[in-house]
Amino acid sequence: MSETLLYEGKAKKVFTTDDGNVLLHRYKDDATAFDGQKRGSWKDKGKTNATMSAAIFAYLETHGVPTHFVEQVDDTSIKTKRLEMLPVEVIARNVAAGSLAKRLGYEEGTQLKAPIIELCYKDDDLGDPMLNWYHFRELGVSDEDLEFCEELGLKVNGILAPFFDERGIILVDFKIEVGRDENGNLMLGDEISPDTCRFWDKETGEKLDKDRFRRDMGGVEEAYAEMLRRVTEITQRGAVD
Ligand code: TMP
Ligand code: ASP
């Protein structure tokens, strides 16, 4: 198979494949936070992010969400459709944490009355600022695409919040990205992992996501392994039942 490195990011490498419409994403054990100021690495991070993304994309597909997922190739790699990404990060929130807790002056952990969707401009140099529809129109993103993003954020949240609840996890918030395939169809892209979601244990409140790294809490390797276990073990048992 002819693989050419197309892009190397902080946490993954993306390669072309023999099929011009298919890419290979290989997840690394490396992490950064705060726009690259903080760096780290831990064992099996790439495995967790690839395997969890694969399991969740497959689950979302069975619930009517179009995604870029094609197949998991090995522990750390997945194949996806090649997408033209929108310059948008869609954040969905159920519980106040992180930047929303600061923005609203809420204590972290405050349950929101209804899910909140935020749209951010995907631009590292600008720090991915939250923008409104007027700003996005100025940047050339259509109302139709923005509507798709907001609806997708709500739909994915409506499917994944109960999925994680069954696994003893509160889905506090998460970030997704959207792109267009070669036929012009919009769909969910990127990854869904402890890098891009906040997961809190329902019983203990323990954080099981990248905040352990961002906030120097320790136990990050164990937290990722625990999330992988909760997603894959129950998914496999569910498949046998
Ligand atoms: P925030 O509270 O820092 O705005 O983060 C909201 C959610 O988005 C949280 O689940 C982490 C995720 N996120 C990313 O995936 N990438 C990012 O660059 C940032 C800032 C947040
Ligand atoms: N924006 C952060 C980074 O530089 C991502 C994060 O904190 O999750 O990688």
Residue 6 has pLDDT above 60, yes or no: yes
User: How far does the centroid of ligand 2 lie from the alpha carbon of residue 195, in Å?
Assistant: 8
Residue 70 is which amino acid?
V
Ligand 1: residue whose CA is nearest its atom 18? 128
Helix (H/G/I), strand (E/B), else coil: 86 = strand
User: How far does the centroid of ligand 2 lie from the alpha carbon of residue 106, in Å?
Assistant: 22
Residue 237 confidence (pLDDT): 61
C-beta of 10 in contact with ligand 2 (< 6 A) = yes
Q: Which of 195, 196, 192, 203 is nearest to 170 (CA)?
A: 203
Q: What is the mean pLDDT of the chain?
A: 96
**34-93 pLDDT tens trace:** 988 999 999 999 999 999 999 999 999 999 999 999 999 999 999 999 999 999 999 999
**How far is Cα 200 from Cα 192, in angstroms, rounded to an integer?**
15
Give mean pLDDT, residues 15-23: 97
Q: Which residue has the tokens 């994309």?
A: 57
**How far is Cα 236 from Cα 217, in angstroms, rounded to an integer?**
31
Looking at per-residue pLDDT, the higher value among 234 and 14 belongs to 14
Residue 241 confidence (pLDDT): 45
Structural domains of the chain, ranges and CATH numbers in brackets: 4-81 (3.30.200.20), 84-219 (3.30.470.20)
Residue 178 has pLDDT above 90, yes or no: yes
Give mean pLDDT, residues 193-203: 98
Beta carbons of 1 and 15 less than 8 angstroms apart? no
Q: How many CB atoms lie within 10 A of CB 172?
A: 24
Residue 23 has pLDDT above 60, yes or no: yes
> Full-prediction pTM beyond 0.85?
yes
Ligand 2: residue whose CA is nearest its atom 9? 33
Cα(first)–Cα(last) distance of the chain, in Å?
37
C-beta of 173 in contact with ligand 1 (< 6 A) = yes
- For residue 89, what are the β-bridge partners? 120, 177
User: How far does the centroid of ligand 2 lie from the alpha carbon of residue 196, in Å?
Assistant: 9
Ligand 2: residue whose CA is nearest its atom 2? 33
Residues composing the chain:
241
Residue 234 confidence (pLDDT): 73
Instruction: For residue 148, give Cα distances in angstroms to 62, 92, 224.
Output: 19, 14, 30
**107-152 pLDDT tens trace:** 999 999 999 999 999 999 999 999 999 999 999 999 999 999 999 9
Closest-approaching ligand to the CA atom of 160:
1
C-beta of 232 in contact with ligand 2 (< 6 A) = no
Helix (H/G/I), strand (E/B), else coil: 66 = coil
C-beta of 214 in contact with ligand 2 (< 6 A) = yes
Residue 143 is which amino acid?
D
In this prediction, what percent of the chain has a pLDDT beyond 70?
Answer: 97
Residue 236 confidence (pLDDT): 66
Residue 190 has pLDDT above 80, yes or no: yes
C-beta of 35 in contact with ligand 2 (< 6 A) = yes
In sequence order, which residues have a C-beta less than 8 Å from that of residue 4 and are 6 or more positions away?
15, 16
- For residue 27, what are the β-bridge partners? 12
